Amino acid sequence: MRFRTYPAVGFAILCLLSAYVGLAPTSYNPALPSYGQSDKVLHFITFFLLTLCFYWILETNRRKNLQLTLLVCPGVLGVGSEIVQGLLPNGRAFDLLDIFANVVGSGAALAICVWYHKRMLERKRHGRTFGPLAEGEEEDFDVELGEGIGSQENGVIPEATLEAEVDNWDENAEDWDEDEANEDDAKPSDDEVGKKRND
């Protein structure tokens, strides 16, 4: 498992910036604007960007990335930041709508990351297993989608005609073997013929 540097640096910078803006008391820095109800958009954008950066930090499979990102971004950071904000005496209050905006922002970024990661892996697999087609060569039909397989079978086997049964001489091989065995029993062997001459 490797770490990607640029997403990790971006995530660290965004965490520090959002912690400063979200947890600092408003009286401490009067330059910070007071957003009121419009801070939900700010929560959405912040957690969208945090999740977007965090998902790409670890170079591992999609499932591990998804599980770890779900645990850290909406779980620990999204809910935990509001709990800490409510516990600190900074003039800010705990707000369920802020948690909702955090989780929705993380969910949107996570959906985009998972979709893109899946697409990226499919393109990598496809590039590894299939080469480009030569000119004039057509693509194969996709049998799973029902392309190029003809009409649907109905499962009913048509009755064989007399000509078809006669032409199918492999099925009658048992009959031929029995006839040859009967003929062999009726004919004397070469040894028996030789014995009669010697007598």
Counting residues of the chain whose pLDDT is more than 70, the rounded percentage is: 65
* Mean of pLDDT values over 175-193: 59
Q: Which amino acid is at 180?
A: E
Counting residues of the chain whose pLDDT is more than 90, the rounded percentage is: 27
Query: What percent of the residues of the chain are helix, what percent strand, and what percent coil, each to the nearest 5?
Result: 65, 0, 30
> Which DSSP letter does residue 59 get?
E
Closest CA to 58 of 123, 113, 127, 122: 113
pLDDT in tens, 70-95: 999 999 998 998 888 888 877 777 88
- Give the position of tokens 């073997």: 177
Predicted local distance difference test score (pLDDT) of residue 76: 92
- Mean pLDDT, all residues of the chain: 77
Q: Is-above-0.75 flag for pTM?
A: no
Q: Token pair of 132, please?
A: 């480009």
pLDDT in tens, 1-22: 788 899 999 999 999 998 888 7
